[in-house]
Structure 1
């Protein structure tokens, strides 16, 4: 259902705010001012239990004990945040504004750089969530999306990525940006950086090898590092444009609602998303129709707009997701269970597929964020297949990258039959950093079980 943001078109069934207060300090004046930022109280380090917004701790998830999404001054604008957000993917208070630069080729990779104002994000290590608030020394938040230069598809490239930034023609300071997931940008790398005043800056990006098994059109590729460079201007005009272009979610009662901003990065980079990959061939079985009317929680989907910006739980078609819809995965879809708001789309491919060397079946598990279907690397997932009370097969799923499936976790299965019980165990939640809207979600570990349907 599509709606505008006027209060008359609201239904209580779509969202609940009984346990959530909206913090709007610093939201007036169109976020047009720099500096004058509030300083957060309390600790920026929270445990998994404190991050879910229910613990009452002094640094809970998106609230962090303070009133606005700011740091200690400098170039970071004072923006409103949601206090006590749900332990789930939620709608932030605003759409981020940024300057997208021209893509740069680096060997087999295509680098898509973006520069914006410094802002808060959250780092995840094990079961620890640590807020990284901008300081008065930070001037920009620099982001890079890494794509395949041939197809334009987003790559995890989780090893060895380094960015060196300095004034044009001068040596710079190397940094290792964080692998991140954002509702509007999907999976990328980014960090808050300090500059040396106004001027033209050059950034050199070194991309390491993709640390995953490659299959399909990606087999044998992305094994060597590569380097690419780009320049950007930092001055008053840049600062005014990236802050002045911030777009607020006008209906404040939608702040903190379960849902997500549309991913504006999909379709960029001159290529396709994984979601619109061809579905022809013997591996594909359309096991079930994707539910476009209800979300993964069984709730009716909803959509809202601010101008041409969309958000909500509405169904994203294949071309609007970073990964394919579950029903578009090759093989027979076994289900899409949920652990900590992360969807685990599980598919079983028939014997002899390109994913195996022998006459085995292949189990592919594709973790993704809800709604936008962004990839979730840096997790650990175990599996076990049980039959008649005994374990037929068990072990750890291996990280893999395929041109149609995308980043996933998989294993060959020599013995699988209809009626077998498949247990998937998330032993390590995705250790990727998060922008606002994801910092209280995708944090849990646990087990889910499915009954296998092998087919012919």
Structure 2
């Protein structure tokens, strides 16, 4: 085991006058529709349509590129967040999704883009890892372009930072580069549909909009697979907007492996780039915690895990899962206040 075409964004239409719509088309004016968001996942005020810039499969990884209007988002450093605002030179919000081609597993890694037009470099950057309620985990940023025309985006996907198993290491532990050509037209981006969500339909309330119908993250059935593969199924614990499924799976070097699948509560998205630990609890006293490593597997997809001695688990009444550092991923609206300081999640242990 080693380390490392238009897409309708959907939503609910808010009936507004033409003048109000024009006001809300201005970037960030619509934020006033949710003045005081809750501390957690909430239904955002709008969703935007996207345009596809193509998909390529190279070296066992599938890379998809898409764009929408430039918009603000929040970066996360430790437990602090900061808003990244739109600048007048931003032409698009560029989004890249990287998956294992065979299993659809999301790949936590570093993704850089170099954009050229007429053989001249227009922009080069490392994209932010991101979470959005429609796309789930992806990479993105607001980027400038040099007017309408044909562009070539060279996307470099670095080796994954997660531990890799189940034969994925031969295609996820090396870097790969993908070239995607796309045509940019400012009118097309400005004309993308923006659908506003009515307050009567939950705008600003705890909850989330539905994910894209064609999402390819392969995570809907990973909890079921964990339960099927488990030598001992432990259970599911919830803390705020996160769910943790726990099980003991196959032995590794003579020791059992405790696998933990964290997912967002509403859309069951994986949570990369977090720091998790687990500790046994007996008689109300919490024992020594053990750090969980980020992992990728053909059956379990993205998860966290560690080798443990079974006697430690059998001697516990409960297991407590702690988020030692929240996922270091940027957030689209609706996620910016979530997953920053969750309480430990506990689950009863019965391995007899």
* 2:214 equivalent to 1:273: no
- CA offsets 1:171-229 (integer angstroms, 9 cap, x no match): 34310110001110010000001111222221110000011111224244311100001
Query: What is the CA distance between 1:110 and its match in structure 2?
Result: 0.8
SS in 2 for 1:68: helix
Structure 2: tracts of 5 or more residues without a match: 1-10
Match of 1:156 in 2: 107
CA contact (8 A) 1:186 1:265 kept: no
- CA offsets 1:418-438 (integer angstroms, 9 cap, x no match): 653322221111111111111
Match of 2:206 in 1: 258
CA contact (8 A) 2:92 2:189 kept: no
CA contact (8 A) 2:108 2:272 kept: no
SS in 1 for 2:262: strand
- CA offsets 1:372-402 (integer angstroms, 9 cap, x no match): 1111111111222245688776421111111
Match of 1:377 in 2: 272
CA contact (8 A) 2:123 2:143 kept: no
Match of 2:172 in 1: 222
Normalised TM-score (structure 2): 0.85
- CA spacing shift, 1:185–1:267, aligned 2, 3 Å: closer
CA contact (8 A) 2:227 2:247 kept: no
Which whole-Å CA distance do the structure 2 matches of 1:257 and 1:390 have between them?
Answer: 36
CA contact (8 A) 2:24 2:30 kept: no
| 1:234 equivalent among 177, 180, 184 | 184
Which whole-Å CA distance do the structure 2 matches of 1:341 and 1:87 have between them?
Answer: 10
Match of 1:283 in 2: none
- CA offsets 1:128-177 (integer angstroms, 9 cap, x no match): 111112111111000000011223x1423323x21111214323431011
Which whole-Å CA distance do the structure 2 matches of 1:193 and 1:246 have between them?
Answer: 20
Match of 1:117 in 2: 69
Match of 2:42 in 1: 90
Which whole-Å CA distance do the structure 2 matches of 1:220 and 1:240 have between them?
Answer: 42
Match of 2:341 in 1: 444
Using CA pairs below 8 Å that are at least 6 residues apart, which structure has the higher relative contact order? 2
- CA spacing shift, 1:433–1:267, aligned 2, 3 Å: closer
How many residue pairs get matched? 338
Query: What is the CA distance between 1:357 and its match in structure 2?
Result: 2.7
Which whole-Å CA distance do the structure 2 matches of 1:380 and 1:395 have between them?
Answer: 11
SS in 1 for 2:189: helix
Normalised TM-score (structure 1): 0.67
Aligned CA-pair RMSD: 3.0
* 2:83 equivalent to 1:131: yes
Which whole-Å CA distance do the structure 1 matches of 2:20 and 2:194 have between them?
Answer: 7
Match of 1:362 in 2: 257
Match of 1:307 in 2: none
Match of 1:425 in 2: 322
- CA spacing shift, 1:383–1:218, aligned 2, 3 Å: same
| 2:30 equivalent among 46, 68, 74 | 68
Query: What is the CA distance between 1:253 and its match in structure 2?
Result: 5.1
Which whole-Å CA distance do the structure 2 matches of 1:426 and 1:180 have between them?
Answer: 18
Query: What is the CA distance between 1:252 and its match in structure 2?
Result: 4.4
SS in 2 for 1:221: helix
SS in 1 for 2:188: helix
Match of 2:229 in 1: 330
Which whole-Å CA distance do the structure 2 matches of 1:387 and 1:124 have between them?
Answer: 35
Match of 2:246 in 1: 346
* 2:136 equivalent to 1:183: no
Which whole-Å CA distance do the structure 1 matches of 2:51 and 2:23 have between them?
Answer: 17
| 2:150 equivalent among 200, 205, 222 | 200
Which whole-Å CA distance do the structure 2 matches of 1:397 and 1:149 have between them?
Answer: 26
- CA spacing shift, 1:31–1:176, aligned 2, 3 Å: farther
Match of 2:306 in 1: 411
SS in 2 for 1:83: coil
Structure ranking higher in strand proportion? 2
- CA spacing shift, 1:143–1:443, aligned 2, 3 Å: same
Deviates most, 338-347 or 226-235: 338-347
Match of 1:434 in 2: 331
Query: What is the CA distance between 1:413 and its match in structure 2?
Result: 1.5
Query: What is the CA distance between 1:5 and its match in structure 2?
Result: 7.7
CA contact (8 A) 2:46 2:197 kept: yes
Which whole-Å CA distance do the structure 2 matches of 1:101 and 1:261 have between them?
Answer: 24
- CA spacing shift, 1:388–1:337, aligned 2, 3 Å: closer
CA contact (8 A) 2:277 2:289 kept: yes
